[in-house]
Amino acid sequence: MDDINVLHHRCLLNLRRRIRDIGDGHPAQDRCMRLQKDGDTLSYQGNSEEVGCYVAGHPLSKGNCYFEVTIVDTGVRGTIAVGLVPKFYRLDHQPGWLPYSVAYHADNGKLYNGNPVGKQFGPKCARGDRIGCGIHSENTEAGLTTVFFTKNGREVGSIEVPVSSEGLYPAVGMHSMGEEVKVDLRAEWLLEEDDTMMMVDSHEDDWGRLHDVRVSGMVRNRKRDPKLIRCVSLTDDGKIFYGIGVGDAFGPRCFKGDIMGCGIMFPRDYSLDGDVDVEDLGQLEGLPSQDGIQNVLYLNGEDEEEEEEEGDEVVQEQQGRKVTVFFTRNGKLMGRREMAVPPGGLYPTVGMLSSGEKVKVDLHPLSG
């Protein structure tokens, strides 16, 4: 492990020396080997035994922090890599193979981070797919930055990498006959690029109470402090939790990239008039709903007829206060549950339980 660190350090020193030797007077130029560049199109010109690589003339920066590569043809093997490298990266190696470089490889969906052995990272990419790569520049002063990758406008994943003094340059690697791509060095990253979705205001003022969660635009992050875990996760097992810490099987599990939705269907005779007693709400939750669904966690099999009659009276008195809460996954209905509205109403809520969890929240989606 020490030998690897020494090798990385020496590589970085050599790169810095070469920068000093060349100076800043020369205009930045693209660098290419075994690839033909025609406008924004790159095509492989080797013999499929040697790697061809392209490195852009300018590094990514705060004002230009993202680029995209569209696969025109996968050629024989589809060994196309998209990522970031130091300025004087060796052009006979795929991006991600050498120290201080990182790349997403289309043929196997692996991430290569300064090592010729990759790790599973995302889906494979084929003809017509767009691979994007960008940086979050907020940590560059500490010598680190977060590099993220996208496929067809959706984020695949991210990784924190060290930044050398000259910055990180867009790079494309190819390794078989017939491979061809188009490079857009001025692409814009719009978080989610979908024909059915539009960017809306994050409405941060609508979030009245936060505990152990950081607000960053439309993103909610779980703070990384294990001593502060007090939230309950509702998304890891596909269960529905209804006023108790034990959930019932409800729908499929949700993973990275899934969109979870929650809404309310109000009956026509819904009324906000009058106050509701909390004890009455407890009785309401223990009664069968109109669609026959029951919550056995709140039912007592030994209830006497007198208690049932009292419950019926509560239902009749508070019929206008009951609503149907429904949940969706990726735009499809998972299920619904009837419940009484508590005093003060029902508020959108997001809970997290482990470090590193992150979600994007839209309180006013343009759907329905």
Q: What is the average pLDDT across 286-304?
A: 39
Which of 107-121, 201-215, 249-263 is predicted with the least confidence, judged by mean pLDDT? 201-215
Most confident stretch, 4-13, 20-29, 119-128, 217-226: 119-128
Summarised one tens digit per residue, pLDDT across range 8-57 is: 556 555 555 554 444 444 557 999 999 999 999 999 999 988 999 999 99
Bridge partners, 145 (sequence order) = 161
pLDDT of residue 275: 45
| pLDDT for 314 beyond 90 | no
DSSP state of 20: H
Domain of 323 in residue numbering reads as 226-269+319-351
pLDDT of residue 6: 53
| pLDDT for 235 beyond 60 | no
Which of 91-95, 241-245, 270-274, 322-326 is predicted with the least confidence, judged by mean pLDDT? 270-274
Domain annotation covers residue 16 = no
Residues 158 and 231 in one domain: no
Give the chain's domain count: 2
Residues 56 and 179 in one domain: yes
Residues 121 and 244 in one domain: no
Residues 152 and 235 in one domain: no
Domain annotation covers residue 23 = no
pLDDT of residue 304: 42
Tally of CA atoms within 13 A in the half-sphere of 95 that contains its CB? 30
Tally of CA atoms within 13 A in the half-sphere of 252 that contains its CB? 11
pLDDT of residue 138: 58
Q: Nearest-CA neighbor of 132 among 156, 112, 111, 109?
A: 156
Domain annotation covers residue 294 = no
Domain annotation covers residue 137 = yes
Domain annotation covers residue 204 = no
Cβ–Cβ < 8 Å for 324, 268: no
Measured CA distances, 57 to 32, 49, 62, 227 (Å) = 10, 26, 16, 46
Q: What is the average pLDDT across 93-120?
A: 95
Residues 240 and 143 in one domain: no
Q: What is the average pLDDT across 71-80?
A: 96
Domain annotation covers residue 276 = no
**14 Cβ neighbours under 8 A, 6+ residues apart:** none
Banded model confidence at residue 278, pLDDT cuts 50, 70, 90: very low
Q: What is the average pLDDT across 81-88?
A: 96
Which of 72-86, 187-201, 262-276 is predicted with the least confidence, judged by mean pLDDT? 187-201
Residues 150 and 246 in one domain: no
pLDDT of residue 343: 80
Q: Burial of 258 by CB count in 10 Å (0-12 exposed, 13-18 middle, 19+ buried)?
A: exposed
Instruction: Identify which has the larger pLDDT, 13 or 356.
Output: 356
pLDDT of residue 63: 85
Q: Rounded to 5 degrees, what are φ and ψ at 151?
A: -130, 120
Banded model confidence at residue 234, pLDDT cuts 50, 70, 90: very low
Q: What is the average pLDDT across 128-148?
A: 84
Residues 62 and 137 in one domain: yes
Residues 235 and 346 in one domain: yes
If DSSP codes are grouped into helix, strand and coil, which group holds residue 264?
strand
Instruction: Identify which has the larger pLDDT, 86 or 326.
Output: 86
Domain annotation covers residue 2 = no
pLDDT of residue 341: 83
Give me the chain's average pLDDT, please. Answer: 75
Q: Nearest-CA neighbor of 112 among 65, 80, 74?
A: 80
Q: What is the average pLDDT across 271-284?
A: 47
Residues 168 and 35 in one domain: yes
pLDDT of residue 41: 97
Banded model confidence at residue 60, pLDDT cuts 50, 70, 90: very high
Q: Nearest-CA neighbor of 133 among 207, 184, 77?
A: 184
pLDDT of residue 299: 39
Domain annotation covers residue 169 = yes
pLDDT of residue 53: 98
pLDDT of residue 333: 82
Residues 231 and 178 in one domain: no
User: Over pLDDT 90: what percentage of the chain?
Assistant: 37
Summarised one tens digit per residue, pLDDT across range 142-198 is: 788 999 999 999 999 999 998 878 899 999 999 999 999 999 999 988 754 443 333
In this structure, what CATH number is given to the domain that contains residue 122? 2.60.120.920
